[in-house]
C-alpha cells in the first residue's frame, strides 16, 4: 500500500503538495522497457529534445522559481539563479558530451580502422537532494539522457513537488515517458531503488553517511557505476590583506548564502591570530545586517529558513555542543520565529576546543579557528576527512601557490567564495566528499562507457611464426 506524502512550506508551515509513494519495481521496469528506444535515437534527436526542455522551462520559469522558493524556503533571487542553472545545463552538457565522450578515430595497423565510441549504461537511478531540488538532480539527468540512458529519478522526500514538476517538463519537451520516470518516496524507496538488480548506475547527491552506505552496498558489484557527491566541512582562510571589508563579505557569502545549505558552504574560518579580531568584527557586522525572512518578503531577504524544524533543531543543538565544549560564542544562533525553521547566522570561536567535530554542519553556523602562521593554517584546513571546497582570501601569489599545492580539495579558490562553482567546470572533491567521479562538466564521464573497436571490411590475417612446416611428401601429385 502506498504511503501518503506531503510537503509543507518551511517559511509558513502551509501545506504545499500531497501525493503517494511510488512502486520501485514498476518504475524500474518502465524505464528498462523504454531505454532501448531512447538509446537508439540519433544523438541529434536527443540534443534537440533536451533543447526543447530548456524552452519548456523558460515558458514556465516563474512557476518553477516560485515552487522552488516555497518548497525550500530560499529567497526568490536564489531560486531564480537555480532555474537559470537548470536551463544552462543543456548546452554545457552538449559541449561536454562532444569533448569527453564523442567519437574518435585512432591509428590502427594493416589498414584497419580503430574507433573510440561510447555507450550508455542503461537504467540510471538519480537520487536528488533538497537544497537544490531542480539544479542538482538535473545535473545528473541531462548528461545521462544525452548519453542515451533511461532515468528513474527519486527526489528528496522534502522536495517532491519540485521533482514532480521537473519530470513533467521533461515529458512535455518530448523525452519519452518511459525514458524518465519519477519515483516518489522516502529512505526506504531510495534504498530499494539503489538495490534493484535492473538499475545499472546510481547518481547520488546528499550526505556522506548515505553516500558511504551506498558505496559499501555495492563494494562487491563493480558492474554498477556509482557517482557520489557527498558534501563538505569546507575551510576559508583569511590571511594578510588590507581589504578587510571585502574579505569579510566573501566569508559571509561562503558561510551564509542559501542559509548555509550548500555542500560548498564554508563551515570553518581559519584566520591569522594577529588579524583575527578585526576580521571577525567585520564578519559579525555584516552578519548582523542580513535580512532573514520568507522567500517573497519585501525588503528582499538574504536568507530564508532552513529546510524544516528537524534541521533547525539539529543546528541549534550543534551550536550548544560547541559552546559547552570550549567554543566561545561571537554571534549566537537564534530561532526568531516560533515553530518555524528560521535561524540567525551564528559564529563561534572554537580555537580552544581540544577536539573539533569533523562533521558537515548544513546550515548557517561558522566556526572560527585562530592560527599563528600559514603552515598551521593549511594544516588546520586539511584537518578533515572531507575535501570538497576551500578558499584563500588575501595573501600573496606565493601564499596561494603554497595553498593550492598543499590543500586537499577538489575546488580551490583565491579571493573568491568557497561556493558558486561553475557548471562549465568539473565539480567534486576528495576524501569523503566524493568517489572521484566529479559531476558538472565531467558528468559525461560517468554517463557512458568507452568502447574501442578495431574494424576492417574484409577479414585479413596471417600467422607467421609457431607453425609446423607442411609435409609435402605426404601430398599426392
Residue 203 lies in domain: 4-230+434-455
Whether 263 is catalytic is yes
Q: Is residue 467 part of a domain?
A: no
Instruction: Clarify whether residues 184 and 150 are in a common domain.
Output: yes
The CATH number for 340's domain is 3.40.309.10
How far apart CA 305 and CA 408 sit, in angstroms, is 31
Span 105-124, average pLDDT: 85
Overall domain count for the chain: 2
pLDDT tens-digit series, residues 269-290: 999 999 999 999 999 999 999 9
How far apart CA 270 and CA 411 sit, in angstroms, is 17
Span 407-420, average pLDDT: 96
Identify the pLDDT of residue 65.
98
Identify the pLDDT of residue 474.
61
Residue 112 is classified by DSSP as -
Residues 6+ apart with CB under 8 A from 101: 118, 147, 444, 445, 447, 448, 450
Name the catalytic one among 82, 164, 189, 263.
263
Identify the pLDDT of residue 246.
98
Identify the pLDDT of residue 459.
85
- In this prediction the pTM is 0.94
Q: Is residue 201 part of a domain?
A: yes
Pairing relationship of beta strands 426-427 and 365-371 according to DSSP bridges: unpaired
Residue 473 has pLDDT above 90, yes or no: no
Span 92-107, average pLDDT: 89
Identify the pLDDT of residue 315.
98
Q: Is residue 368 part of a domain?
A: yes
Instruction: Clarify whether residues 135 and 249 are in a common domain.
Output: no
Instruction: Clarify whether residues 211 and 254 are in a common domain.
Output: no
How far apart CA 420 and CA 99 sit, in angstroms, is 24
CB-CB contact of 74 with 293 (8 Å): no
Identify the pLDDT of residue 457.
82
Instruction: Clarify whether residues 10 and 76 are in a common domain.
Output: yes
Span 154-171, average pLDDT: 98
pLDDT tens-digit series, residues 9-47: 999 999 999 999 999 999 999 999 999 999 999 999 999
User: Exposed, middle or buried by CB within 10 Å (0-12, 13-18, 19+), for 26?
Assistant: exposed
Task: List alpha helices for 350-470, DSSP H.
Answer: 374-381, 397-406, 444-447
Name the catalytic one among 164, 189, 229, 380.
229
Q: What average pLDDT does the structure give for the chain?
A: 94
How far apart CA 396 and CA 338 sit, in angstroms, is 46
Q: How many residues can be counted in the chain?
A: 477
The CATH number for 125's domain is 3.40.605.10
Instruction: Clarify whether residues 202 and 287 are in a common domain.
Output: no
Task: List alpha helices for 257-349, DSSP H.
Answer: 273-289, 309-324
Span 53-64, average pLDDT: 98
Percent of the chain whose predicted confidence (pLDDT) is above 70: 98
Whether 229 is catalytic is yes
Q: Is residue 466 part of a domain?
A: no
Q: pLDDT band at 362, cuts 50/70/90?
A: very high
Instruction: Clarify whether residues 242 and 283 are in a common domain.
Output: yes
How far apart CA 81 and CA 438 sit, in angstroms, is 22
Identify the pLDDT of residue 475.
60
Which phi and psi angles does 280 have, rounded to 5°? Answer: -60, -40
Q: Is residue 377 part of a domain?
A: yes
Identify the pLDDT of residue 358.
94
Instruction: Clarify whether residues 410 and 450 are in a common domain.
Output: no
Identify the pLDDT of residue 110.
64
pLDDT tens-digit series, residues 227-252: 999 999 999 999 999 999 999 999 99
> What stretch of H or E contains 213?
helix 208-217
Instruction: Clarify whether residues 298 and 269 are in a common domain.
Output: yes
- C-alpha distances in Å from residue 304, one per residue of 78, 238, 254, 397, 419: 10, 27, 16, 37, 17
Instruction: Clarify whether residues 345 and 379 are in a common domain.
Output: yes
**20 closest CA partner among 2, 36, 35, 37:** 2
Instruction: Clarify whether residues 96 and 150 are in a common domain.
Output: yes
Amino acid at each position: 500500500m502506498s504511503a501518503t506524502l506531503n510537503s509543507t512550506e518551511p517559511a509558513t508551515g502551509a501545506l504545499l503538495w500531497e501525493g503517494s509513494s511510488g512502486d520501485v519495481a514498476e518504475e524500474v521496469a518502465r524505464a528498462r522497457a523504454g531505454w532501448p528506444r531512447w538509446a537508439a535515437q540519433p544523438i541529434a534527436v536527443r540534443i534537440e529534445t533536451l533543447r526543447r526542455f530548456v524552452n519548456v522551462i523558460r515558458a514556465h520559469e516563474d512557476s518553477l522559481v516560485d515552487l522552488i522558493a516555497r518548497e525550500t524556503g530560499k529567497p526568490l533571487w536564489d531560486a531564480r539563479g537555480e532555474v537559470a542553472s537548470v536551463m544552462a545545463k543543456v548546452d554545457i552538457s552538449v559541449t561536454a558530451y562532444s569533448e569527453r565522450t564523442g567519437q574518435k578515430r585512432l591509428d590502427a595497423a594493416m589498414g584497419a580502422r580503430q574507433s573510440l565510441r561510447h555507450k550508455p549504461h542503461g537504467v540510471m537511478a538519480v537520487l536528488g537532494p533538497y537544497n537544490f531540488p531542480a539544479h542538482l538532480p538535473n545535473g545528473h539527468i541531462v548528461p545521462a539522457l544525452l548519453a542515451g540512458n533511461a532515468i528513474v529519478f527519486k527526489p528528496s522526500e522534502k522536495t517532491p513537488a519540485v521533482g514532480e514538476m521537473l519530470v513533467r517538463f521533461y515529458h512535455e519537451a518530448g523525452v519519452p515517458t518511459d525514458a524518465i520516470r519519477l519515483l516518489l518516496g522516502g529512505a526506504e524507496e531510495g534504498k530499494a531503488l539503489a538495490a534493484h538488480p535492473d538499475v545499472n548506475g546510481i547518481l547520488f547527491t546528499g550526505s556522506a553517511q548515505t553516500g558511504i552506505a551506498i558505496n559499501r552496498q555495492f563494494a562487491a558489484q563493480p558492474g554498477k557505476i556509482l557517482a557520489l557527491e557527498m558534501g563538505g566541512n569546507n575551510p576559508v582562510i583569511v590571511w594578510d590583506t588590507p581589504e578587510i571589508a571585502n574579505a569579510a563579505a566573501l566569508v559571509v557569502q561562503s558561510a551564509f548564502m542559501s542559509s548555509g545549505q550548500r555542500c560548498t558552504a564554508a563551515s570553518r574560518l581559519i584566520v591569522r591570530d594577529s588579524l583575527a579580531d578585526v576580521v571577525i568584527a567585520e564578519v559579525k557586522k555584516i552578519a548582523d545586517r542580513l535580512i532573514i525572512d520568507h522567500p517573497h518578503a519585501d525588503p528582499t531577504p538574504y536568507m530564508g529558513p532552513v529546510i524544516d524544524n528537524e534541521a533547525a533543531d539539529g543546528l541549534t543543538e550543534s551550536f550548544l555542543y560547541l559552546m559547552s565544549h570550549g567554543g566561545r560564542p561571537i554571534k549566537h544562533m537564534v530561532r526568531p520565529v516560533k515553530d518555524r525553521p528560521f535561524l540567525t547566522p551564528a559564529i563561534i570561536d572554537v580555537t580552544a576546543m581540544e577536539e573539533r567535530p569533523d562533521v558537515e554542519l548544513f546550515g548557517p553556523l561558522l566556526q572560527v579557528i585562530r592560527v599563528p602562521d600559514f603552515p598551521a593554517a593549511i594544516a588546520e584546513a586539511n584537518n578533515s576527512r572531507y575535501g570538497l571546497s576551500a578558499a584563500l582570501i588575501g595573501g600573496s601569489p606565493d601564499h596561494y601557490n603554497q595553498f593550492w599545492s598543499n590543500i586537499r580539495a577538489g575546488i580551490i579558490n583565491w579571493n573568491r567564495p568557497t561556493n558558486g562553482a561553475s557548471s562549465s567546470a568539473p565539480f567534486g572533491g576528495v576524501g569523503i566528499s566524493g568517489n572521484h567521479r566529479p559531476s558538472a562538466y565531467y558528468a559525461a564521464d560517468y554517463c557512458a562507457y568507452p568502447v574501442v573497436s578495431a574494424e576492417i571490411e574484409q577479414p585479413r590475417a596471417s600467422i607467421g611464426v609457431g607453425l609446423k612446416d607442411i609435409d609435402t611428401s605426404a601430398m599426392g601429385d
